[in-house]
Structure 1
Amino acid sequence: MTAPDRPGGEDRALADDVAAAVLGVPGVAGLHAGLFGEVATYLPGRRVRGVRVGPEDDAVAVHVVVEWDAPVPATVDAIRTAVAGLVAGTVHVTVEDVAAPGEAATTRRNS
């Protein structure tokens, strides 16, 4: 899936842009790759975990860990808003986990 203003093959930049936008949302502790690491955009030599951008449709999937005290519905709405300007299609957000109080976000690493 590529945004309308991006030339073909730019899933790499789009996945990175989506990840950065999501991590910038208050209440997001990190990205989550799913139970078996299946939620990712695979790129040459690396992958962007927690973001699935693919050529099959216009949807983008984002899986996150939210902070303990973050209101989940409001955080999900903020994620959709942050990503909506980057993609042409639907933004699917899945909350995979909630970080324990005081837990450092180790899921922020994307590669």
Structure 2
Amino acid sequence: MSSEIADTVAEAVTAVPGVASLHAGMFGEVGTYLPGRRVVGVRVMESSTDVHVCIFADAAVRETALRIRQAISGLISGPVNVTVEDVVGRPHNA
């Protein structure tokens, strides 16, 4: 696997409307390990890709998951498993 693919997937996912951030999973287990660093919330494997996210409270869960799958479908092969780990409010502008 190319080390850049995890970064590319992470960028595509965080650009999806409704996605607040990537999430490392309940025990911090979701990530792609690269030399000297880790891409949190994205696990790219040969057979599938796991994406764990926090979404905004006003985002529809199923629609957001579908948009995530669509955003990365051309980047990877195999199924994409999307897990919504948390729902957060939008930041208030001060």
Structure 2-normalised TM-score? 0.92
Unaligned runs of at least 5 residues, structure 2: none
Query: Any runs of at least 4 consecutive aligned residues in structure 1 with deviations exceeding 3 A, and if so which?
Result: none
Residue 91 of structure 2, aligned match among 88, 102, 106: 102
Tell me which residue corresponds to 1:66: 55
Higher strand content, 1 or 2: 2
Tell me which residue corresponds to 1:32: 23
Tell me which residue corresponds to 2:33: 42
Written as runs of structure 1 = structure 2, the 5 A alignment for 1:3-42 is: 10=2, 12-42=3-33
Q: Secondary structure at the match of 2:68?
A: helix
Tell me which residue corresponds to 1:5: none
Within 2, Cα distance between the matches of 1:60 and 1:47?
A: 15
Aligned residues: 92
Shift of 1:72: 0.8
CA RMSD of the aligned region, Å? 1.2
Unaligned runs of at least 5 residues, structure 1: 3-9, 104-111
Shift of 1:101: 4.1
